Structure 1
Amino acid sequence: MGLSNSPPELIGQSPAFLGTLEQASQIAMIDRPVIVTGERGSGKSTLSARMHYLSPRWEGPLVKLNCAEMDARQLETALFGSVTGSVTGGAVRRSPGAIQRAEGGTLFLDHIEKASLHVQSKILRLIESGSYEHFNDENSQQTDIRIIAATDCDLRLLAQTGEFCADLLDMLALSVIELPPLRERHDDIPMLAAHFASPAVSELGFRFPDFSAEALIALKAHDWPGNIRELKTVSERAAFRWGEGEGQGKIHEIIIDPLAQSFGPRRKLMKSPQSEKEGFTPSDISTLSAPYQEGSDLRAYLSALEKTIVAETLARNGQNQRRAADALSLTYDQMRGIVKKHGL
């Protein structure tokens, strides 16, 4: 890559955010694996790209792979490459994977927790020895890459339940960087909103007028479960609606939930510490299902009751599995298992 490459822009002045940037800049120079943690939409991919361009590998390629977008076989092929065709005289075609394309640079693995245990074991070997094999090939390849992994899960809990390779976690966790959620960066919201809204206003042929005081109050009052990504959408929506009104005055209309007219307003979840964990009391359970009838299948009844309780708790907590798990005194991994079991 040419000399024009530079770290992507990350905007913010809050102490928590600046502390994260400083830590990332220091770790960027250490040619070892890194884990970047943070809630969805908090900027893990952007921060990882910044670390690449601040590292000694900045002239090499930056290859990104989302482990949540593929099943186990597809991910293994996309990551390690594959060999197809006859190996007994016929034509053999080798398809390079992300590892080969990242040679000399950085491989970013988003949602690393979604990789199968088999793929995780191969990533572990890659980190330890620098060697790997293409899918359907027994010949080892050597590579020189740096791995940056990202997750919004607690990998320690997944390792405890056997869903994540504990040895891989030990290797990846040499350095861990946590991105603060937007709700802990209130002072950054005005400049971020302006940064996202300004191009949208320019696209409409206007000059950015800034947000009104009322609009900024509304933006700061929201808890931003979708973090930076959600703020970008809300800011652009406000800019386009302002432009539809012929661009009069400052941007004042903030619509957080555009589906409220169709489906009703979303339930507020964070009015108080008590309301953050909306669980069930024993008296609630009787209202969720008909009483058990002696002689019927007890296991089926309990399974249906479990499904109903979890579905109701997820609804009360905005479909946030972590909050629902806390409300029911479950671990996040137990909640994920129940959700998967019942197809919620």
Structure 2
Amino acid sequence: MAWETFVTSGHPAEARSDHVRDDILASWLRSMEMGVDAATLASRKISDEDEIALRRQHNAHLRRAASAAFRRLEPHLSDAKSIMLLADDQGVIIDAIGDASVLDDGQGIHLEVGGQWNEKTVGTNGIGTALKTGKPMYVHAAEHFVEGVQAWTCAGAPIRNPFDNSVIGVVDLSGPPDIFRRHNIALVLAAAREIEIALAEQQRQDRTQLLEAFLQSKYSQADNSVLLLDRNGRILFRRGVDETTFPSSDKLLVGQKLLPDLEAFNAKDLPTLLPPNVEAQGLERLVLDNDYRGAALFLKCDRSLRRPEIGARRIQPRPNVSEEPIHIVCASPKMLEAIELAERAAQANVSVLIQGETGVGKELFARLIHSRLGRPDSPYVPVNCAAISNDLIGAELFGYVDGAFTGAARGGRAGKFEQANGGLLCLDEIGDMPIELQPYLLRALEQRAIYRMGDSKRRPVDVRLVAMTNRDLRQEIEKGKFRRDLFYRIGVVTIEVPPLRERGSDILALLEHFSDHFARETGRPKMSFGADALKMLASYRWPGNVRELRNAVQRIYLVCSGPVVTVKDLPPELRDDFDESEEDSLESILSGNSGDLESIEASAIRRTIAAEKGNLTRVAAVLGISRPTLYRKMRQYRIDRSVGRPD
């Protein structure tokens, strides 16, 4: 009745009813203003099959990202009288799966590949209204604006680009009215999030391959400002391009589509496509493994302006973060790609998961994201989940009111979520969070609000979450120690920080950086490193990563007396890794009188303990034995945990 009143009168006030939601009424009004005929019996379909094929090809990345979710859900749809649809950013359906009979019925209203379902074409519907509002939306029966679609129910969720948060498509569940459940929206929301995670992984791989192609090309050493573009003309990486060198750098952001598809691009059109005050020096194609990956666009800039160093990032932090600037020293492709991903993730309002071994510098990435939030004086609140007891972590995160528990401070206390309001909350060692507390964290992130312990008052919070871990959370999920839904919520964008041993020449660059730092700090002249010492430092596997390297350089400046660092000046653990004693040499064990299996086993345990710095959990994992077995064998062979040598 409300729909009939509205389409005949055209006045929302007359159609308003307790049974008509505000979002639906607003969509009806838009449909009316755009001239959509409410008596329409079906949507429209693109008639040219070549155009449909071209559109599907243009959205190949979106279809590829959705394929895993669609394969997983398809067997469950056929018995549920439901179909699942994937639409592009124009509301055109590019994929459809599900119940065969429902797919056939859908063709009658062009609910099929090539069907156009934006609001301008067919009014209020799950796909078009989700696209228009950018929100999940269910549209049931007579809530549809055009009469011919009111025999259907649908629920759509927007799919967002993980890096600029723009809506690039919709996943939709449709079928006859009897399949309607309000929680259908939860299914498409989960599918949309899974697609976004797959998109983020695709883009990460694309950037890595493009960067590798550039670094292997003859152009990588040129001292130019450069933009690396993928095959679609989108900027994936930039070097020497910021506000100090280009006034229009805000129009040359990573993720922006700068040029048309490069394979059909005419270089003569380049001057007309670039922003004002930006001039190109040239465009070079980039190939990796005989596959075209994209192009490097070299830009002209004023040499009198300051140019940033390529190998080191210097980022001014907020006053409440640290008094020292952030330094990320790198030139390796994996590390540069991680930095670009972090900077891009900072511009999107999404949660970020940072993964990496202990000591790789995960918190530097969290601080980098915080520095890019664009909010002056925004708080940065770090929390180490492993350093707080299970009994107190809930109160630490969410706060508590007076009398919430024995020992609670009088008057209560705000938790870390409230302290981080308007800024960034960094949860380190997220894998150590108790499983029973994880649903509360998930609820806080979903509702953007918290409840203090002992209180029923809802407190809204605007917090950007960055979680960090050195664990494999997927393995923790299989063990039942981490919730799968929380993993997908905190890992919209996942940044893998590579270990130092995979960063090649970065070891020597970091050595130079820390040497400069500790020379200033200790007031000593800067030391030089002998060739043998440099070779050993470059070859060492650095199980403690950047933190271990920093500590090693600090020790050298505190202990070494000469101006040149030699092998004997290096920390003992570095020398032991290469210059093992005769009794620990595998060759001597096998060739000498002690070549029995027990001696080999004892030596393997000693060497692994030394390499893993006494971390027995990692020692057991490396040796492929359980911790109880490791303890038993250490007692059997009288192995001292602290030094890795017999008593």
2:360 is equivalent to residue 45 of structure 1: no
Whole-angstrom distance in 2 between the partners of 1:336 and 1:131: 42
1:106-125 correspondence runs (5 A): 106-125=424-443
Q: Which amino acid aligns with 1:19?
A: E
1:253-332 correspondence runs (5 A): 253=567, 254-257=569-572, 315=609, 318=612, 319=615, 321-322=617-618, 324-325=620-621, 327-328=623-624
How far the C-alpha of 1:168 sits from its partner, in A, is: 0.3
Q: Pick closer, same or farther for the CA change 1:100–1:193 going to 2, 3 Å.
A: same
Question: Equivalent residue of 1:107, what SS?
Answer: strand
Question: Equivalent residue of 1:117, what SS?
Answer: coil
Residue matched to 1:294: none
Whole-angstrom distance in 2 between the partners of 1:260 and 1:212: 15
1:94-109 correspondence runs (5 A): 94-109=412-427
Whole-angstrom distance in 2 between the partners of 1:71 and 1:104: 27
How far the C-alpha of 1:252 sits from its partner, in A, is: 2.6
Q: Pick closer, same or farther for the CA change 1:219–1:324 going to 2, 3 Å.
A: same
Q: Pick closer, same or farther for the CA change 1:325–1:25 going to 2, 3 Å.
A: same
Structure 1 range deviating more: 162-171 or 50-59? 50-59
Question: Equivalent residue of 2:466, what SS?
Answer: strand
2:451 is equivalent to residue 136 of structure 1: no
Selected match of 2:339 from 18, 21, 30: 21
Q: Which amino acid aligns with 1:193?
A: L
Residue matched to 1:224: 542
Q: Which amino acid aligns with 2:620?
A: A
Q: Pick closer, same or farther for the CA change 1:86–1:204 going to 2, 3 Å.
A: closer
Selected match of 1:250 from 564, 582, 589: 564
Whole-angstrom distance in 1 between the partners of 2:358 and 2:464: 23
Q: Pick closer, same or farther for the CA change 1:339–1:162 going to 2, 3 Å.
A: farther
Structure 1 range deviating more: 224-233 or 212-221? 212-221
Structure 1 range deviating more: 4-13 or 182-191? 4-13
Selected match of 1:145 from 438, 450, 463: 463
Residue matched to 2:392: 74
How far the C-alpha of 1:55 sits from its partner, in A, is: 2.3
Q: Pick closer, same or farther for the CA change 1:42–1:123 going to 2, 3 Å.
A: same
Whole-angstrom distance in 1 between the partners of 2:319 and 2:521: 30
Whole-angstrom distance in 1 between the partners of 2:425 and 2:383: 8
Q: Which amino acid aligns with 2:379?
A: P
Whole-angstrom distance in 1 between the partners of 2:479 and 2:468: 20
Question: Equivalent residue of 1:36, what SS?
Answer: strand
How far the C-alpha of 1:7 sits from its partner, in A, is: 6.8
How far the C-alpha of 1:197 sits from its partner, in A, is: 2.5
Selected match of 1:160 from 450, 466, 478: 478
Whole-angstrom distance in 1 between the partners of 2:529 and 2:435: 48
Q: Pick closer, same or farther for the CA change 1:19–1:259 going to 2, 3 Å.
A: closer
How far the C-alpha of 1:74 sits from its partner, in A, is: 1.7
Whole-angstrom distance in 1 between the partners of 2:446 and 2:630: 35
What is the number of equivalent residue pairs in this alignment?
A: 292
How far the C-alpha of 1:34 sits from its partner, in A, is: 0.7
Residue matched to 1:62: 380
Q: Pick closer, same or farther for the CA change 1:58–1:175 going to 2, 3 Å.
A: farther
Selected match of 1:238 from 534, 552, 556: 556
Whole-angstrom distance in 2 between the partners of 1:70 and 1:339: 28
Residue matched to 2:143: none
Q: Pick closer, same or farther for the CA change 1:320–1:180 going to 2, 3 Å.
A: farther
Whole-angstrom distance in 2 between the partners of 1:86 and 1:321: 37
Q: Pick closer, same or farther for the CA change 1:4–1:64 going to 2, 3 Å.
A: closer
CA contact under 8 A between 1:194 and 1:211: conserved in structure 2?
no
Residue matched to 2:506: 188
CA contact under 8 A between 2:522 and 2:557: conserved in structure 1?
no
Q: Pick closer, same or farther for the CA change 1:41–1:146 going to 2, 3 Å.
A: same
Whole-angstrom distance in 2 between the partners of 1:116 and 1:65: 14
Structure 1 range deviating more: 138-147 or 54-63? 54-63
Which structure has more relative contact order (CA 8 Å, sep 6+)? It is 1
2:495 is equivalent to residue 177 of structure 1: yes
Structure 1 range deviating more: 198-207 or 43-52? 198-207
Q: Pick closer, same or farther for the CA change 1:208–1:164 going to 2, 3 Å.
A: same
Whole-angstrom distance in 2 between the partners of 1:167 and 1:284: 47
Whole-angstrom distance in 2 between the partners of 1:116 and 1:175: 23
Whole-angstrom distance in 1 between the partners of 2:505 and 2:328: 15
CA contact under 8 A between 1:132 and 1:142: conserved in structure 2?
yes
Q: Pick closer, same or farther for the CA change 1:320–1:227 going to 2, 3 Å.
A: farther
Question: Which 5+ residue runs of structure 1 have no aligned equivalent?
Answer: 272-282, 289-310
CA contact under 8 A between 2:401 and 2:411: conserved in structure 1?
yes
Whole-angstrom distance in 2 between the partners of 1:15 and 1:58: 31
How far the C-alpha of 1:255 sits from its partner, in A, is: 2.3
Residue matched to 1:296: none
Normalised by the length of structure 2, the TM-score is 0.41
RMSD of aligned Cα (Å): 3.7
Question: Equivalent residue of 1:65, what SS?
Answer: strand
Structure 1 range deviating more: 40-49 or 77-86? 77-86
Question: Equivalent residue of 1:9, what SS?
Answer: strand
Whole-angstrom distance in 2 between the partners of 1:192 and 1:104: 34
CA contact under 8 A between 1:257 and 1:265: conserved in structure 2?
no
Question: Equivalent residue of 1:93, what SS?
Answer: coil
Q: Which amino acid aligns with 1:49?
A: R
Whole-angstrom distance in 2 between the partners of 1:121 and 1:266: 52
Residue matched to 1:304: none
Q: Pick closer, same or farther for the CA change 1:2–1:326 going to 2, 3 Å.
A: closer
How far the C-alpha of 1:209 sits from its partner, in A, is: 3.2
How far the C-alpha of 1:177 sits from its partner, in A, is: 0.2
Whole-angstrom distance in 1 between the partners of 2:628 and 2:393: 22
Whole-angstrom distance in 1 between the partners of 2:522 and 2:610: 39
How far the C-alpha of 1:325 sits from its partner, in A, is: 3.0
Percent of pairs identical after alignment?
29
CA contact under 8 A between 1:194 and 1:210: conserved in structure 2?
no
Question: Equivalent residue of 1:46, what SS?
Answer: helix
How far the C-alpha of 1:323 sits from its partner, in A, is: 6.2
Q: Pick closer, same or farther for the CA change 1:312–1:226 going to 2, 3 Å.
A: closer
Whole-angstrom distance in 1 between the partners of 2:574 and 2:532: 22
Q: Which has the larger radius of gyration?
A: 2
Between structures 1 and 2, the one with greater strand share:
2
Whole-angstrom distance in 2 between the partners of 1:266 and 1:111: 37
Question: Equivalent residue of 1:186, what SS?
Answer: coil
Deviations 1:228-266 (A, max 9, x none): 100000011112223xx2xx43233442336999xx979
How far the C-alpha of 1:206 sits from its partner, in A, is: 2.3
